């Protein structure tokens, strides 16, 4: 019986397991998420997570279902008018997936933030929707203190935003779309060279000739080239061109796929040794000076740094997998094994270094699993860290050159304009106790007032030059605080995608403030 249920679950989640695997799914199922405010933005974000099998949710909202909620929130229906919104949203979410544990708290998030900060301690992550600046700043401090991830989402007319706030997020499986394979053709190790030498490129049997994998072709020809060029590999543009001709000269005919692949990959012999500047920055981070409180990730980075300086001879551990290439089966399988063996020996060296570091800082030398080290080694070139500023810091002292640049860039004009105007709206609300433009009358006065506030924000930041588009201020008042369903579904969708990346620790989350521009869709990420 248990296996039937397990099979069913596997089938149900099949399309997402292909993205984040069993490990990612387990992480989602162990997560405990809190949603603040369950208007359409929050409801939609949670809906996407519940469908994907998130573990536990707690919905916090102090309001009752009103008639206008039925015009923009699919999770509420007519029968629920007058009932607590959090309760109604919870019951619909349970209908979507009964595996999720759902709770609701009928209280205004602002009050919880003000009066009961310890409420948040149990959560993995908090999704705060439709919150004003003052509450957000307080919530941010609470979450940082308790090491809880925070995702902020807001929909407002045709604009909206999503931002992550946490001290640091470290990623081993960043899974970039495009990343160069780790073949080490520029720096082959003895076993790989030795195997390549057993294959004679001048063989006349056309079947064997066209089934020699390009890795072997390039290693042999690079060595031959180096012998004829004082031990140097092709480096200038002309030399690289000559090297290609050199490869071509070894073809039996122009249709040999393996040689075409060799030509296309010939640049790989000329890659400069060593690690990328991104990785260099990580291994030089002060967090690599580890102590007993350091996270496993940073212990691994410390080991990586030692590895690169010692047995790696400037290179990180080998990834170990090779792409498909034209080859005989036999040759390809042998190559695979050679790469795997090197990756395993690199991994063993890393394991030893990890043990030594753990001993040094006074932790159990076996505290970090082999599987963790192996996964780290496999992804060593792709590890990524994201650090986020305090929201208050961004608001009081944003990165001015960046802000200035965006204000002057036409492609950013709506996005950055909305960024300033969303802050202006909050200030307007703090002064007037209501959002600008919620009533149909007196719109022109509201526009002038909002503009004054927005200009004030810019000049407080010392930006007296740029002005905001009058049309955009008018739009902001026209929106009158409306939470449009498609905009909320978009923003909620983005927020849930970020939550998935944060919880599964896979892929790279958003690094700045995502500003939605529903006018022409030129949304932008502002890193302020």
Partner 1 sequence: MADVSSDPGRWRDVDKLLARPGNIVGQDFEPSPTLREDIGEIARVLVVGAGGLGCELLKDLALSGFKNIDVIDMDTIEVSNLNRQFLFRLQDVGKSKAEVAAERVMKRISGVNITPHFCRIEDKDIDFYNDFNIIVLGLDSIDARSYINSVACGFLEYDTDDKPLPETIKPIVDGGTEGFKGHARVILPGRTPCFECNIWLFPPQVKFPLCTLAETPRTAAHCIEYAHLIKWGEVHHGKDFDADDPEHMQWVYSQALKRAELFGITGVTYSLTQGVVKNIIPAIASTNAIISAACALEALKIVSGCSKTLCNYFTYNGTEGTHIKVTDFVRDTDCLVCGPGTLVELDTSTTLLQFIILLGEHPNIHLSKASVTCRGKNLYMQSPPVLEEMTRSNLQLPLFDLMGKVAKDVIHASGTSEKNDKKTSCLRKLRVVFKGVADGITSMDTTDGS
- Our CB check for partner 1 shows the closer of 124 and 506 to be 506
| Closer Cβ to partner 1, 122 or 257, answer by number | 257
Q: Which of residues 34-63 bind partner 1 (CB under 8 A)?
A: 44, 47-49, 51-53
Stretch that binds partner 1, among 180-188, 226-234, 359-367, 473-481 (CB under 8 A): 473-481
Q: What separation, in Å, do the N-terminal and C-terminal C-alpha atoms of the chain show?
A: 53
CB count within 10 Å of CB 517 equals: 20
Distance of CA 77 to the CA centre of its chain: 35
Q: What 3-state class would DSSP assign to 522?
A: coil
Of 65, 112, 406, 494, the one binding partner 1 by CB under 8 A: 494
Torsion of CA 360, 365, 369, 375, to 10 degrees: 30
What is the contact mask toward partner 1 in residues 74 to 113, using x (rule: CB under 8 A)? Answer: x--xx--x-------------xx-----------------
Q: Which residues pair with 162 in a beta bridge?
A: 153, 514
Q: Which of 333, 367, 430, 452 contacts partner 1 by CB under 8 A?
A: 333
Judged by DSSP in three states, 315 sits in: coil
Residues facing 156 on adjacent strands: 159
- Cβ-based neighbour number of residue 357 at 10 Å: 21
Question: Segment 299-328, which members bind partner 1 (CB under 8 A)?
Answer: 324-328
- Of 109 and 492, which has the nearer Cβ to partner 1? 492
Judge whether 129 and 101 are in contact, CB under 8 Å: no
The contacts of residue 496 (CB under 8 Å, 6+ apart) are: 44, 45, 46, 48, 49
- Beta strand pairing status for 32-36 and 125-129? parallel
Nearest distance, CB of residue 70 and partner 1, angstroms: 5
For partner 1, which residue of 188, 317, 436, 518 counts as binding (CB under 8 A)? Answer: 518
Report if residue 72 touches partner 1, rule: CB under 8 A: yes
Helix (H, G, I), strand (E, B) or coil at 270: coil
User: Does 252 interact with partner 1 (rule: CB under 8 A)?
Assistant: no
Q: Is 507 in the site for partner 1 (CB under 8 A)?
A: yes
Answer for which of 12, 64, 240, 390 binds partner 1 (CB under 8 A) is 12
Distance in angstroms (rounded) separating the CA atoms of residues 15 and 5: 17
206-207-211-217 Cα dihedral, nearest 10 degrees: -20
Site for partner 1 in 410-469 (CB under 8 A): 437, 440, 443
484 binds partner 1 (CB under 8 A): yes
Binding region for partner 1 (CB under 8 A) out of 4-12, 242-250, 284-292, 393-401: 4-12
CB of 11 to partner 1, least distance (A): 5
Q: Kindly state whether residue 24 participates in binding partner 1, applying the rule CB under 8 A.
A: no
Q: Which is nearer to partner 1, 330 or 364 (CB)?
A: 330
520 touching partner 1, by CB under 8 A: yes
What mask, x for binding partner 1 by CB under 8 A, covers residues 139 to 168? ------------------xx---x------
Reference 335, options 200, 194, 178; nearest CA is: 194
N residues, the chain: 528
């Amino acid at each position: 019986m248990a296996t039937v249920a397990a099979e069913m679950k596997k089938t149900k989640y099949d399309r997402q397991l292909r993205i984040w695997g069993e490990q990612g799914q387990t992480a989602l199922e162990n997560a405990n998420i809190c949603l603040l405010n369950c208007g359409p933005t929050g409801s939609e974000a949670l809906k996407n997570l519940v469908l994907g099998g998130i573990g536990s949710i707690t919905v916090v909202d102090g309001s009752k279902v009103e008639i206008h909620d039925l015009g923009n929130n699919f999770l509420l229906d007519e029968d629920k008018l007058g009932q607590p919104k959090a309760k109604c949203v919870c019951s619909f979410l349970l209908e979507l997936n009964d595996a999720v544990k759902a709770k609701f708290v009928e209280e205004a998030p602002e009050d919880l933030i003000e009066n009961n900060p310890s409420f948040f301690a149990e959560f993995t992550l908090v999704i705060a929707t439709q919150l004003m600046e003052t509450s957000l700043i307080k919530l941010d401090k609470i979450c940082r203190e308790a090491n809880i991830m925070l995702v902020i989402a807001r929909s407002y007319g045709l604009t909206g935003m999503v931002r992550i706030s946490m001290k640091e997020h470290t990623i081993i499986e960043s899974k970039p779309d495009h990343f160069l394979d780790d073949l080490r053709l520029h720096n082959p190790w003895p076993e790989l060279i030795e195997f390549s030498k057993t294959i004679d490129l001048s063989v006349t049997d056309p079947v064997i000739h066209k089934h020699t994998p390009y890795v072997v072709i390039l290693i042999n020809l690079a060595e031959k080239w180096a012998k004829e060029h004082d031990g140097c590999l092709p480096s200038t543009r002309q030399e690289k061109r000559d090297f290609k001709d050199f490869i071509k000269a070894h073809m039996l005919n122009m249709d040999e796929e393996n040689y075409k692949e060799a030509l296309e990959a010939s640049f790989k012999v000329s890659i400069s040794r060593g690690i990328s500047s991104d990785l260099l920055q990580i291994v030089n981070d002060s967090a690599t000076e580890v102590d007993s409180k350091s996270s496993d990730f940073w212990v691994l980075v410390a080991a990586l740094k030692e590895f690169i300086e010692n047995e790696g001879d400037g290179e990180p551990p080998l990834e170990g997998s090779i792409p498909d290439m034209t080859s005989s089966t036999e040759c390809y399988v042998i190559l695979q094994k050679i790469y795997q063996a090197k990756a395993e020996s690199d991994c063993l060296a890393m394991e030893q270094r990890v043990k030594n570091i753990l001993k040094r800082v006074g932790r159990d030398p076996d505290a970090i699993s082999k599987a963790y080290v192996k996964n780290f080694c496999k992804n060593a070139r792709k590890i990524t860290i994201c650090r986020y500023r305090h929201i208050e810091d961004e608001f009081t002292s944003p990165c001015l050159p960046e802000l200035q640049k965006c204000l002057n860039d036409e492609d950013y004009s709506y996005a950055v304009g909305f960024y300033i105007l969303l802050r202006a709206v909050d200030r307007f609300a703090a002064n007037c106790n209501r959002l600008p433009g919620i009533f149909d009358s007196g719109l022109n006065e509201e526009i002038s007032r909002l503009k004054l506030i927005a200009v004030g924000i810019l000049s407080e930041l010392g930006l007296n030059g740029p002005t905001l588009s009058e049309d955009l201020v008018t739009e902001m008042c026209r929106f009158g605080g409306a939470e449009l369903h498609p905009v909320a579904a978009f923003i909620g969708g983005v927020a849930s995608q970020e939550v998935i990346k944060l919880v599964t620790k896979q892929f790279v989350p958003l690094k700045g403030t995502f500003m939605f521009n529903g006018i022409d869709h030129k949304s932008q990420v502002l890193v302020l």
